[in-house]
Amino acid sequence: MVKHINVTSRSRTEFIDITEAVREVVKNSRVTSGVCHLFVLHTTAAITINEGADPNVMRDMNGFLNRLVPTDPYFTHAEGNSDAHIKSTLVGGSETIFIDEGRLVLGTWQAIYFCEFDGPRQRKVSVKVV
């Protein structure tokens, strides 16, 4: 069964910590040993696992991606969000995390982030626990 996590972004680009929401889905699944697959249902968003203790890391990542792929009026895609599509492809639309003893196997400093590149919007992340 696939569950969905709803995410509300408030900025054009931002990283939103969804770790606790994913933990809740895993807990409710009652799976004690397996994998948790996460998939973003959007072409202008992504998902990543990175440092969760210091918010400056995500600010730095966001700033770097915005400098690496700026909004460019010369992109040919008519909607004006080609930068968001490129960032989504660079970061990636899915993650898989092991489950052991009913818990996500994440490193001490790791958190799961929904990456918004074309907000603000209402978004969904699909979660499949096996």
User: What structural domains and CATH numbers belong to the chain?
Assistant: 2-129 (2.60.120.460)
pLDDT of 74:
81
Please provide the average confidence, as pLDDT, over all residues in the chain: 96
Residue 64 CB neighbours (<10 A): 10
Total length of the chain:
130
Q: Cα separations (Å) of 54 from 9, 37, 57, 97?
A: 20, 25, 6, 21
pTM beyond 0.85: the answer is yes
pLDDT at position 79: 84
With bands split at pLDDT 50, 70 and 90, how would you rate the model's confidence at 27?
very high
Residue 26 predicted with pLDDT over 90 = yes
Q: Is 26 exposed, middle or buried (0-12, 13-18, 19+ CB in 10 A)?
A: buried
Please check the confidence at residue 45 and state whether its pLDDT lies above 90.
yes
CA distance 62 to 56: 10
Cα 96 to chain centroid distance, Å, stands at 12
Percent of the chain with pLDDT over 90: 91
Q: Residue 72 has what pLDDT?
A: 77
* DSSP string covering 79-109: TS-HHHHHHHHHH-SEEEEEEETTEE---TT
- With a CB cutoff of 8 Å and minimum separation 6, the contacts of 67 are none
pLDDT digits (tens, 9 = 90+) for 69-118: 998 778 888 788 999 999 999 999 999 999 999 999 999 999 999 999 99
